[in-house]
Homo-oligomer: A and B are copies of this chain.
Amino acid sequence: MSTTVSREIRLKSRPVGTPTAAAFDLASVEVPAPGPGEVQVRNLWMSVDPYMRGRMYDRPSYVPPFQIGEALQGGAIGEVTASNDPALKPGDIVSTMFGWREVFNAPAAALQKIDTHGLPPQAFLGVAGMPGLTAYVGLLKIAALKPGDVVFVSAAAGAVGSVVCQIAKIKGCTVIGSAGGDDKAAFLREIGVDHVIDYKKTPDLTKALAEAAPRGIDVYFENVGGAHLEAALNAARPFARFALCGMISQYNETGEAKGPGNIILAVGKSLRLEGFIVSNHFDMMPAFVKDMSGWIAEGKVKWRETVDVGVENAPAAFIKLFNGENLGKMLVKLA
């Protein structure tokens, strides 16, 4: 087996504010034949996710920052093309965290073989992967969802939010979803969301939420921050639980971020606001896989993808996340 050329996206500079193409470099590297115990993988799909923005800052965090001049990391689904380890054979589908590149070699132990159970492989970057598990953990464990709860979800048409909405419906809850634009609103209605708020057409989120949930909300699944968080605090019933999954409106903040001026409501209403990182809850993976594969098979969970093609377009796909241009899971198809 000879050398293979792989293109990859490297971090060129740390973005200030909303990332632009200038922060990224496209490079080509020669990948040799895999060494002893190694396999070679050709990525089929790679994921771009909002949390990756945090790794572009040089600061202490729950994951180390990306390094300038190095290829970006992140979830990808690939196919084994050569193997020097009996655990994997050519044609196997693997889930990896090597990220924004076309071809790479790695020890077999660093790769997770996937049985796709008939699902398209890229589903393991979305509904059946990390975003799906995030929704499951946040709603069932962090927010301790109960049947009959009124659940408010922001970024409800996204990879995580759309799964949150559907799990909440499966569990017998009333769901209010916020998203921007007609296509996303239509998708939310299609997946059974009871009240859709198009925040781009809504000058007063608190008023819209009060109309959608006249008796208040029991759970808020937070993906956005800012005005959404303030509206949720206003609408919260006593003892409401907030699962803080992300605050995409804040990720590119360059000035002084504006906090929720009504946070004091958390005292009088006995609210619980709890942040979480899915990687601290991988113990729930087996239960998630079992539940989710059943729900998909029964047609109870649907999903959408927004697909760009070619590793050279990964930066543009990533930037779309912050403009809200993706419906459902944002993916880059590599092969």
Contact = CB atoms under 8 A, between A and B. Distances in A.
A270 interface: yes
Contacts of A229: 263
Contact of A275 (B244, B257, B267): B267
A61 interface: yes
A277 B272 contact: no
B273 A273 contact: yes
A34 interface: no
A8 B273 CA distance: 41
Contacts of A277: 267-268, 270
Interface in A251-287: 256-277, 280
A315 interface: no
A246 B265 CA distance: 10
A245 interface: yes
Contact of A244 (B238, B258, B266): B266
A26 interface: no
Given A258-B259, A259-B259, A247 B273 contact: no
A272 B270 contact: no
Chain A interface, DSSP helix/strand/loop, else mixed: loop
13 contacts: A62-B270, A225-B263, A245-B267, A247-B263, A250-B264, A257-B261, A258-B258, A260-B263, A266-B274, A268-B277, A270-B274, A271-B275, A272-B273
Interface in A59-83: 61-62
A7 B256 CA distance: 51
Given A267-B245, A270-B276, A259 B262 contact: yes
Q: How many copies does the complex hold?
A: 2
Question: How many interface residues does chain A have, given as a range?
Answer: 35 or more
Interface of A: 54, 61-62, 225, 229-230, 238, 244-247, 250, 256-277, 280
A264 B257 contact: yes
Nearest to A223: B267
A280 B229 CA distance: 25
Contacts of A61: 268
A76 to B, nearest CB: 23
A275 B268 contact: yes
Contacts of A257: 261-262, 264
Given A247-B263, A259-B261, A259-B263, 5 more contacts: A258-B258, A266-B273, A266-B275, A270-B276, A272-B272
A238 B275 CA distance: 10
